[in-house]
Amino acid sequence: MKLSVSLAQMDIALGRPAKNLDRVRAMTAEARRRGSEVVIFPELWSTGYDLDRVEEHATPVDEGVFAETAEIAKEHSIHIVGSLLATEDQGYSNTAVVLSPQGQLLGQYAKVHLYRLMEEDRYLVPGQKAPVFDLAWGKSALAICYDLRFPELFRKYALAGARVVFLTAEWPYPRVMHWQTLLRARAIENQLFMVACNRVGESGEWSFFGHSAIYDPSGELIVGAGEEETLVTAVIDLGTVEEVRQAIPVFEDRHEEVYSGD
């Protein structure tokens, strides 16, 4: 199966959901005009890291900006992926969602690995689950920014059958090489597609470089963006996953008894 995906690499106005939502509307409309079935936005795209106002911004995943985004997905008949601030029983989380072309919530994932350098651990609670979702194009999973540095998460996804991982991020300078290398590594070692959208622009002391990208299960770059606000689109062939996994049977050759032993 082939899937058309757009990466909506945007700047984020700190703490201004209405302004950011207008940009999302425009980029979603353009993605659909191009024939995309999925559009992915950066991490915390509605607010940026305006965490000292998290109580004001966060809502349940069926309310607030989540609900407004669902209406955009429905209006343009497209899947939308991205993360927003959400309320939890224990506090607040950085939660990514997949919304259907009918505006339905197909999956959600709360960021497990909180980034201390941006003080996420002061304001947010970490997620406790790493679900894989059965979507129209096959099993898929979500990850958020700093998660990329933890290969265990992506191996768990792969072992659960994921063929695509959508990663939404605010990954800052100067670690461009880390971003590119880790995306490629996660794709190669798990033989799946990495679809990653990073923001651009500046926020306080932080600058963000974009370089949103899609890597295939062999680690080849399918499409990549530069360092400006842009929408890039590509078609990925999900059949490639099975071809690569059959050619190099990594999962059949694992020895879990060694890795988990004393």
**What's the first-to-final CA gap in the chain, in angstroms?**
42
Residue 202 is encoded by which pair of tokens?
């500046």
Residue 28's Cβ-count burial label (10 Å; 0-12, 13-18, 19+) is buried
**Tokens 């950085």 identify what position?**
94
> Which one of 111, 120, 139, 197 is the catalytic residue?
111
| Structure-token match 């499409």, residue found | 223
Q: Which of 37, 120, 145, 170 is catalytic?
A: 145
Strands 91-99 and 105-110, sheet pairing: antiparallel
197 tagged catalytic: no
Q: Is 111 a catalytic residue?
A: yes
Find out whether 41 and 6 touch, Cβ atoms under 8 Å: no
Helix or strand (DSSP H, E) at 3 = strand 2-9
- Cα(238)–Cα(202) distance, integer angstroms: 35
Annotated catalytic sites, by residue?
Answer: 43, 111, 145
